[in-house]
Amino acid sequence: MGAATTEIIARAVIRRNGQLLVVRQRTKSWSFLPGGHVEPGEKVEAALVRELDEELGTEAKITGFLGAVEHGYIERGTTHHEINFVFDVTITDPEPVSQEDHLEFRWLPHDQLADTDVRPHALKDALITVGEDRTPFWHAWNG
């Protein structure tokens, strides 16, 4: 089994009219929050704004820090370890369109979040339970 490397990922919670913007790789059945990897030496917030521009072709403004989730999984015999930094974000385009062929975006009604496969699951659970509480959350990897 390969050794784990730790990845830093910046994720956006983008809300509109009781809905949450989620993304899915066209080859996968599950969804995740928009955003992506922080490059070496890149600031987390700058990475998130860059990733949203690349993925959605829209300007983004970070409006707050929601929390962090540590997550791990094994894929093709390699352990992956990631720390997800999660931010509230607003975007300028009310109907963003994927700029990348392998990604598809959709608005998920917030009341369907609990029944939808959004990963990492600890992040989904945090979004369900956070409600109006603005205290940043931390979920450690339980693996």
pLDDT tens digits for range 18-38: 999 999 999 999 999 999 999
User: Is the pLDDT at 143 greater than 70, yes or no?
Assistant: no
Phi first, then psi, for residue 10 (nearest 5°) are -105, 130
Q: What type of residue is 143?
A: G
Q: Which residues in 86-112 are b (16+ Cβ under 10 Å) and which e?
A: bbebebeeeebebeeeeeebebeeeee
Instruction: Answer yes or no: are the C-beta atoms of 132 and 40 closer than 8 Å.
Output: no
Look at residue 108 in the predicted model and tell me its pLDDT: 97
User: Is the pLDDT at 14 greater than 80, yes or no?
Assistant: yes
Look at residue 2 in the predicted model and tell me its pLDDT: 56
pLDDT tens digits for range 86-142: 999 999 988 889 999 999 999 999 999 999 999 999 999 999 987 666 788 988 887
Look at residue 58 in the predicted model and tell me its pLDDT: 93
Structural domains of the chain ordered from first start: 2-139 (3.90.79.10)
Distance, in Å, from the CA atom of 23 to the CA atom of 140, rounded to the nearest integer, reads: 23
pLDDT tens digits for range 52-89: 999 999 999 999 999 999 998 888 888 889 999 999 99
